[in-house]
Amino acid sequence: MEWDSSDDGLDAFMSSQESESPEPTPTTSKISEHEFSCHCCYDILVNPTTLTCGHNFCRHCLALWWESSHKNECPECREKWEGFPKINILLRDATNKLFSSVVQQRRTEIQANPKISRSLLAFQRYGDNLGRSKTKRSKGAGIFFSGVLTALSCVAVMVLVYHWSAGVDERHDPLISKPVSRWTPEEVLSWLDQLGPWAHLYREPFQQENVNGRLLLMLGEEELLKPPYNIGNQAHQRAVLAELNRIKLLGVKPPQNLWEYKEANAGKSLFLLYALKRSPRLTLFYLYLFDYTETFLPFLHTCCPALTHAERSESIFLNTQLEPSLGQWTEFLIKYLLLPYQLIAEFAWDWLAVHYWTSRFVIVNTVLLSVLEGCALWRLCVGAEIRSLPNKMWSHVWKMLSQGFAFAVLWPFIPQFVCNCLFYWALYLSPIINIDLVVRHLMHPETQAL
Ligand SMILES: [Zn+2]
Ligand SMILES: [Zn+2]
């Protein structure tokens, strides 16, 4: 057997020498020629093109077939090919090397044939058009989406303009900026009315006594118990005293809603809006450390209300000043760690009746931000970069601290108009921007950097 095969090889070599081929063909040429032949023309492949089914054809054979059949199908197995078939470079180089003379000869033949050249040109044009329309289509989707975004932004800007023109800022209760000592008796009554329906019981004595701001500040526990006020109810008495102490401390009426809060604490509200959006956990921790009674406790009581109402008094303010129960703390901490944006959404939900649209914007934004946070975490897990999490957290903390410090330093120098713009931007336009971000993250999760 060994002798036979060597004889075959020798024969093949001799025959190739005899035919005076300019180049010695390899000893395995018989098998190779078949392997490297096109199933259209049964000759050596020229510019071999691989289809999605895996079959290879000469490019010009494919072009001729495509032109005559008007179909994107494999001539052999009839499977439809996807996109525009490309030349298989590895196969082309291999055939060029192994059968250079044959390939060279066929190439000159093809170039000389006008019909084939035309077909090849038409096929190439078809491919170019395909690529162009593809990029156009993806661009088209982008244009469509940015169009939707622009429309939404326009709506938001119109809402803002309406807000300003309707004079929302002027509709604030003037008492939030007017010192208590200068309140008129009518203003004292309006303050009393805002304490709650229970306070109506004591409206009459205040009216009869003509209590103005200066007098109100002098009222103490003893005066309230005695006639003409006669606040006998312990809970009511506690509530009035707490509210009295609060206005004594603030010097003005405490804000009752978001706009009044913004008016009274312009810098703080802008800071909270941005910080809660960027880093809710750090911001809540900051509030716990430095703004416990005024902001953190009311926030906690709103998001995680106490189950029992036994200890609750009529004063909303007093209710928010109670020390939270263990259950409330547990609920708060679980949400704080897992879904901090959920806490903000619950806070906004509580204000739905007062701020119809604004609360909805905030809730939508918190949902979007939660999705974005989930996406970021998912990428960390998938990319096995979970080990870099402590580093990332540290750089995040550092960034937030430096930004907070910069804000505190620069805040007094920023004009009120700019602050208003930033405030409304963060409130109404950032949800729209986040919709875009979420869609991009969900559509192309692999291309979005953290
Ligand atoms: Zn062919
Ligand atoms: Zn095929």
In a domain, 351, yes or no: yes
> Residue 24: its pLDDT value, please?
47
Lowest mean pLDDT among 37-51, 136-150, 170-184, 401-415: 136-150
Same domain, 300 and 378: yes
Mean pLDDT score across all residues of the chain: 78
Ligand 1 centroid to Cα of residue 12, in Å, is 26
Ligand 2 centroid to Cα of residue 52, in Å, is 8
Ligand 1 centroid to Cα of residue 47, in Å, is 9
Same domain, 266 and 395: yes
Same domain, 79 and 120: yes
Same domain, 369 and 410: yes
Q: Which ligand is nearest to the CA of 75?
A: 2
Q: Which ligand is nearest to the CA of 57?
A: 1
- pLDDT for 296 beyond 50: yes
SS in 3 state form for 391-444?
HHHHHHHHHHHHHHHHHHHHHHHCCHHHHHHHHHHHHHHHHHHHHHHHHHHHHC
Domain count, the chain: 3
Q: What's the CATH number where 96 sits?
A: 3.30.40.10
In a domain, 8, yes or no: no
Range of the domain at 43: 34-136
Ligand 2 centroid to Cα of residue 253, in Å, is 81
Q: Which residue has the higher pLDDT, 149 or 6?
A: 149
Taking the C-alpha atoms of residue 56 and residue 443, their distance in angstroms, rounded to an integer, is: 34
Same domain, 264 and 405: yes
| Amino acid at residue number 111 | Q
pLDDT tens-digit map of 3-40: 444 444 444 444 444 444 444 444 444 556 788 899 89
Q: Which residue has the higher pLDDT, 436 or 96?
A: 96
Same domain, 108 and 199: no
Ligand 2 centroid to Cα of residue 81, in Å, is 9
Ligand 1 centroid to Cα of residue 441, in Å, is 45
Taking the C-alpha atoms of residue 319 and residue 305, their distance in angstroms, rounded to an integer, is: 10
In a domain, 153, yes or no: no
Same domain, 128 and 246: no
Q: Which residue has the higher pLDDT, 192 or 124?
A: 124
Q: Which ligand is nearest to the CA of 55?
A: 2
pLDDT tens-digit map of 162-191: 766 665 554 566 777 777 777 888 888 888
Lowest mean pLDDT among 57-61, 100-104, 235-239, 370-374: 235-239
Same domain, 192 and 84: no
